[in-house]
Amino acid sequence: MASAASKPVWDIFCKVVDNFGDAGVCWRVASLLHLEHGLAVRLWIDRPQTLRALRPDMDADAPRQQLEGVEVIDWSKSSPDPASATVVIEAFGCGLPDGYVTAMAGLPRPPLWIVLDYLSAESWVDSHHGLASPHPSLALPRWYFYPGFTAATGGLPRERDLLSRRDAFDVRARAGFFSDFGMTVPDAAVLTVSLFAYADAPVADLLSALAEDSSPTLLLVPAGAVVPAVKAFFETTADQTSRGNLEVRLLPFLPQSRYDELLWATDLNFVRGEDSFVRAQWAGKPMVWQPYRQDDGAHQRKLEAFMQRYTADLDPAAGAAVTAFTAAWSAGAPVRALWPALRAARGEWARNALGWSRKLADLGEMSAKLVEFVRNKVK
Ligand code: TRH
């Protein structure tokens, strides 16, 4: 690949508010734009340590480094300059540095400024995607780009080969995954589940339901916010434990690429926020989503809008079970009584989840849509 200096550069600005989603999404977009569209990309991130959790091969202390061809820059240690940029992406409305904006306004051809927003399945996204939002005082055009679930939105990020890699993850690959964590492949009768959620999820209630179930479950829990609740439930600090028909394994926090394998290796995935939520949909497996809680209740509207789309082609009983369980789970309400219906919906749900992933893939991919968006604006 040519160096950033010889090519038009896309600057992506990422502020880590909390958790992993900001870094996770920004890294994906940066990497897709470089690897699949041949663009020179600089990712300005204010907390590289967060990205390091997802990419353990990176150096969290380096002021700048190349990561798979993307220049990752610690924004807290450098002052960005827009001189070589053709496009600037302000991720999740994080705000651009004042000096950068002023310098942009002084350029004969300022870079195209795109505000990449959060993902939502709400219908208003269709009409807001691509809207102009000029800077209030400087002569700088700015555009809103919304990811989403319809062809009228910016779509969802996905590597070109993701679904084929998923489909090639066969019995042997799955066995390899379990073996890497010191496990043998569970018997076909065992329901395998992964759990990634916020600390307020009703974890103890879920564990009770699984322990009491007449069929066995293996629950895999990567390191994170729910681990204290799991340990409290079992009254142990051990990484491997069981009660009734439930066996639990605590895993380390996985590199982002391995996390995909976890989603492919299990029958049901509990996911949260934005990026794990999207990856679970690409996994084509049943999933229970816990949206990121927002003070104004926006997460509730996002959940309802998504569930309507997600369950539209499910048979009504399965759809009702999935919707009721997800609503309770994401609100931190009791789920124990709802579990049997969710488990019973599994066959129909699994078929539907695979179809859902194909349907989303037909809508257009986000990095390609970003490139097309820019091409149309910079004519
Ligand atoms: O960490 P999150 O809760 O991030 C959230 C949301 O993005 C939310 O919208 C945003 O406002 C807030 O951050 C600031 O959940 P999310 O989006 O799923 O990001 C988790 C990332 O971590 C995702 O890229 C998958 C990755 N991951 C791993 O790489 N390994 C793991 O073991 C696990 C559990 C996750």
Report, as residue numbers or ranges, the catalytic residues: 22, 274
Residue 32 has pLDDT above 80, yes or no: yes
Residue 216 C-alpha to ligand 1 middle, in angstroms? 28
Query: Do 138 and 224 fall into the same domain?
Result: no
In a domain, 4, yes or no: no
Mean pLDDT value across residues 238-267: 97
Consecutive H or E run containing 276: helix 275-283
Query: What is the span of the domain harbouring residue 59?
Result: 9-156+364-377
In a domain, 150, yes or no: yes
Domains identified in the chain, total number? 2
The long-range contacts involving 247-250, CB below 8 angstroms and separated by at least 24 positions, are: 247/216, 247/217, 247/218, 247/219, 248/207, 248/218, 248/219, 248/220, 248/221, 249/181, 249/183, 249/218, 249/219, 249/220, 249/221, 250/221, 250/223
| CATH classification of the domain holding 284 | 3.40.50.2000
Close Cβ partners of 282 (under 8 Å, ≥ 6 residues apart): 156, 158, 162, 163, 166, 260, 357, 360
Query: Do 129 and 177 fall into the same domain?
Result: no
Q: Give the mutation target among 16, 17, 20 for probing the ligand 1 site: most ligand atoms within 8 A of CB.
A: 20
**What does pLDDT average to over the chain?**
95
Instruction: Using pLDDT thresholds of 50, 70 and 90, give the confidence band for residue 1.
Output: very low
Token look-up 């609503």 returns: 327
Contact 256, 273 (CB under 8 A): no
Residue 212 has pLDDT above 80, yes or no: yes
Q: Residues 321-377: pLDDT tens digits?
A: 999 999 999 999 999 999 999 999 999 999 999 999 999 999 999 999 999 999 999
Query: Do 371 and 354 fall into the same domain?
Result: no
Q: Residues 178-208: pLDDT tens digits?
A: 999 999 999 999 999 999 999 999 999 999 9
pLDDT at 6: 56
Residue 13 has pLDDT above 60, yes or no: yes
Q: Give the mutation target among 19, 26, 28, 57 for probing the ligand 1 site: most ligand atoms within 8 A of CB.
A: 19
Residue 276 near ligand 1, beta carbon < 6 Å: yes
Tokens for 58? Answer: 């990176």
Query: Do 59 and 171 fall into the same domain?
Result: no
pLDDT at 5: 47
Q: Residues 113-136: pLDDT tens digits?
A: 999 999 999 999 999 999 999 888
Residue 54 C-alpha to ligand 1 middle, in angstroms? 9
Residue 4 has pLDDT above 70, yes or no: no
Percent of the chain with pLDDT over 90: 93
pLDDT at 43: 98
User: In this structure, what is the dihedral angle of CA atoms 42, 48, 52, 57, given to the nearest 10 degrees?
Assistant: 50
Q: Residues 214-223: pLDDT tens digits?
A: 999 999 999 9
